A and B are shown apart, each in its own frame.
Chain A
Amino acid sequence: MRIVIAGAGEVGSHLAKLLSNEDQDIYIIDENVERLDTLNQKYNLMTVQGNPASFLALRQASAGSCDLFIAVMPHENDNMVACSIAKFLGARRTVARIEHYEFMEEKNQQFVKGMGVDKVIYPEYLAAEQILTALRRTWVRQWFEIQNGEIIVVGVRIRSDAKMCGMHLKDFASTHHNFHVSAIKRGVETVIPRGDDKMEEGDILYITTRREHVNDLLALTGKVEHKIRRVLIMGGSKIAIRLAAMNRDDFRITVIEKNRAVCDKLAVRCPGLESVYWGDARDIETLADVGIDSFDAFIALSESSEANILACLTAKEIGVKKTVAEVEDIQFINQAEGLNIGTVINKKLLASSSIFQLLLDSDSSTSKCLALTDAEVAELEVKPDSKITRAPVKDLKLSREMTLASLIRDGKGMLVTGNTVIQPGDHVVVFCLAGAIHKVEKLFN
């Protein structure tokens, strides 16, 4: 697939790296030569220097003949214009990153389509959504619902008191038919486990199961679910504003922000907030002033990943039950997950999830995708005559980089075993390691 990315910022560069490892033809446009040179030397892609919202640069990058055009510049107006031009030139599908919810609203869709934007990605919205899920399900690291929750994928870190800790996967599978351990993250590495792999203390297990069995998992992993009511947010960022807007009286939110002007703006723009507090949340006395021990959850959304991680650790020590940290440096995610931080959010990963969804299933909007640090979970609809339907799963000789976790047939979820025969029309949940998503795509199309 030929993909043009406008803007080599953090998200653009991240997408370019990921997609070039997926054997796609990538063109990336930016005005900054140095950024382009670094990408050009290291990755399999072409760079075009110029303003990504100009006809000249888009023609140079042959945006007119691309299958996917992704505009991820800092300003949404630029992205809209770039998409509009690309569409005019003949791009098949266009994606623009936006900063305002307006563009996602149903009543404005006609305008957005008219501008030539096929899909919008709003990383802050996705982040807020993820945070809300994390607050509702405090015991998991990741919670991913497929087909209205028919199938659920949870990521959960096990401690030594979990029943499954120390078990071989094949023993676990023979006694617990309702769960599929689809991936294990240990330290910095994610693996697709085999029967003789062992589950160890500190592993993050990605388990696929049906809705009715999720609660059994709670006991199995030795976790307790907390009810969250009061939430403290550090940093009045765009995600915090979005979160406040999306919160429907479920949570009472307080924001601590160190910039006075931002505080004033927050107080005006977000009437739903319980209170806005001016101060530095890295300071333990400020936290005491706010009364941190009366909060159930602490969410660190400041610009600095390091500060977010450390603030979360402090909050955890004080006794806050759930912590969420925004970690934008991908290298730090593994560290943060190894430390005792409840949920880690990263806008780049959220943005790439949306893009992968497009890659896998470019004409249907029913499938979902979740990008982990070095693996992907994807829900795919099986097309007639695709390779995956030709034999029972155990005879398909699937690559070791992927596993089929479950499927939804006629609206009913079931786990996949070696004897399962996949049928056209099924929705299948696939786990695959980074760089293997194009192999998955070949199996399903």
Chain B
Amino acid sequence: MLLRKDTRKINWLMLAKVIGWLLMIESGFMAIPCAVSFAWGEQDGWIFATFTMLTFFTGYVLNHFLRPERHTMGKREGFLLTALVWVVFSLFGMLPFLLCSHRIGAGDAFFEAMAGFTTTGCSVYADPEELSHGVNLWRALMQWIGGMGIILFTLAVLPMLNSSGGMQMFNAEVTGITHDKIQPRISQTAKGLWLIYIIITLACALLLWLGPMSLFDAVCHALGTVSTGGFTTRAAGPAAWDSGYVDTVITVFMFTGGTSFTLVFMAATGRFAAVKANATFRYYASTVAVSIGIFAAVMAIKMGWGSTLRGVLIDPAFQIVATITSTGYVVQGLSGWAPVLLGLLLPMMVFGACAGSTSGGAKLDRMLVLTRYVRNSLKRTLQPNTITKVEIDGRVLTADTVNQAISFLALYAIVIIFAAGVLTLMGVGLSDSLFCSASCVSNAGISPDAFGGDLAISSLPVAGKMVLSLAMLTGRLEVFTILVLFMPGFWRK
């Protein structure tokens, strides 16, 4: 590759052109709630129609009339595009909230859109039942798009990004320490992942529909469950149906959503041995299983003779999976659970599930690296001459990879503490600030009041919501992609 003078300048025109493409895609998604709204005969249909057109034309104009000199995108353009796309999507995605039948301010609307796309799922709407079908479906769809990744979707449908620039964006958006491909070409990988994603979502919707939910609620919840988002159509969430069946189905699909989709792809193509041997998946499954055991025991002791299957097993399993996959659904009466259980849920929320899944958090893959690295360090304290290595799935990780995973964890903690610090400046209490910040950075979206605190995230001032929006994005794009933009060297010519 040849270095030319102009490669030091960021190719803004090309960025805008690609964003134009992406906006046209977003307008395509927006057309779905538009049609649904009209089908229900709601006024919001017109709002959606207007903004679908607006988004489409903005995208069309950007894409069609810009003529960049170079069509190449370097490393920096890749990072910048990935970060920008998420913001631009949220900016256009929030438009319907501003004018729909149940209006909210621009700050709240941006927060809602960002919470959707990053699959955080903490809503400013106290009672989603007041919202039109169109708005509710749009909220669910946003999570679904963001869950697998906006860029990943684009890579699947736009052949023009099928180059090294696309690779860069894939690396910037897909979660995890290393990024597994399932096919040699990035577009095939993206198509494979999306296909799996669509099939799982359909299966989830179908199973929910077979239960007490209406088709509409089933679809919305399937979109929110598989993407591990957490938006719902009722104030109480899935608990509103008060059904063991609904909770079990959702638990299973949240668990699937928290599994690496590469693994799901392998399982779907019959390679179960590889799935069983995968260290992270075993770690994930055993963490969930052990936690369910502990919770069940504590619940059984607490409830004594009044124990029910629901109270001892289904509810705790639901809550554990909803927390570890960062979905953020909450069962009825969670705040009344034994404090030790709430204390156990917290680290699960921060660590999240497997990399390459739709879940948030710092990812168990890195926890696994950390555990093995710490074990090695301890071993070396006793026997300084031991040669140690961090091995995962039979592959020895290079020192660079280990360093990257550990520095990520350090940065992750710093981001949580920093965002919490900014919240305290706005007069939010220290523990609530920390909880909100951790919940948003790990894209869980659980509000402190669900854990027995006093504060609901939706009641924060607009400035606080903006801070949390940025925190959500930083968490979703796994810190580096966002933080690198704040490095002076990134912008220097």
Contacts and interface: CB of A to CB of B under 8 A. Distances in A.
B386 interface: no
B171 interface: yes
B326 to A, nearest CB: 27
Instruction: Give the size category of B's interface with A.
Output: 10 to 19
Given A25-B183, A34-B398, A43 B167 contact: yes
Interface residues of A, number: 21
A27 B181 CA distance: 11
B164 A42 contact: yes
A46 B183 contact: yes
A46 B181 contact: yes
A34 B397 CA distance: 11
B444 to A, nearest CB: 30
A219 interface: no
Interface in B194-225: none
A40 B185 CA distance: 11
A26 interface: yes
Interface in A20-52: 20-21, 23, 25-27, 33-34, 37, 40-46, 49
B162 interface: yes
Contact of A44 (B4, B164, B395, B398): B164
A307 B167 CA distance: 36
Contacts of A33: 395, 398
Contact of A42 (B162, B167, B181, B188): B167
A46 B2 contact: no
B185 A23 contact: yes
Contact of A41 (B2, B163, B167, B395): B167
A144 B392 CA distance: 52
B2 A44 contact: no
Contacts of B183: 25, 46
B186 interface: yes
Nearest to A49: B395
A41 B164 CA distance: 9
Contacts of B398: 33-34, 37
Contact of A188 (B2, B184, B185, B395): B2
A399 interface: no
A334 interface: yes
Given A41-B171, A188-B2, A331-B2, A27 B184 contact: yes
A9 to B, nearest CB: 19
B2 A334 contact: yes
Contacts of B185: 20, 23, 25, 44-45
Contacts, number: 41
Contact of A26 (B2, B171, B184): B184
B174 to A, nearest CB: 12
Interface centre among A41, A42, A44, A49 (most CB of B within 10 A): A44
A49 B180 CA distance: 13
B193 to A, nearest CB: 15
Interface in A42-99: 42-46, 49
B154 to A, nearest CB: 15
B339 to A, nearest CB: 45
B184 A45 contact: yes
A2 B183 CA distance: 11
Contacts of A40: 181
Given A23-B162, A34-B398, A46 B184 contact: yes
Nearest to A435: B163
Contacts of B162: 23, 44
Interface in B37-69: none
A111 B163 CA distance: 40
Interface string A126-165: 0000000000000000000000000000000000000000
Nearest to A374: B2
Nearest to A27: B184
A43 B164 contact: yes
A325 B160 CA distance: 38
Contacts of A25: 183-185, 188
Contacts of A43: 164, 167
Contacts of A49: 395
A141 B164 CA distance: 32
A26 B186 CA distance: 11
Contacts of B181: 40, 46
Contacts of A34: 398
Given A33-B398, A44-B185, A44-B186, A21 B2 contact: no
A41 B162 CA distance: 14
Contacts of B186: 44
B73 to A, nearest CB: 13
A191 B171 CA distance: 32
B163 A21 contact: yes
Contacts of B167: 41-44
A34 B162 CA distance: 24
Contacts of A46: 181, 183-184
Contacts of A2: 184
Contacts of B163: 21, 44
Contacts of A27: 184
B1 to A, nearest CB: 8
B79 to A, nearest CB: 14
Given A25-B185, A49-B395, A331-B2, 12 more contacts: A20-B184, A23-B185, A25-B183, A25-B188, A40-B181, A41-B171, A42-B164, A44-B166, A44-B167, A45-B184, A46-B181, A46-B184
For the complex of A and B, list the 4 residue pairs with the smallest distance between their C-beta atoms, beginning with the closest.
A25-B184, A46-B184, A44-B185, A45-B184
23 contacts: A2-B184, A20-B185, A23-B185, A25-B184, A25-B185, A26-B184, A33-B398, A34-B398, A37-B398, A40-B181, A41-B171, A42-B167, A43-B164, A44-B162, A44-B163, A44-B164, A44-B166, A44-B184, A44-B185, A44-B186, A45-B184, A46-B181, A188-B4
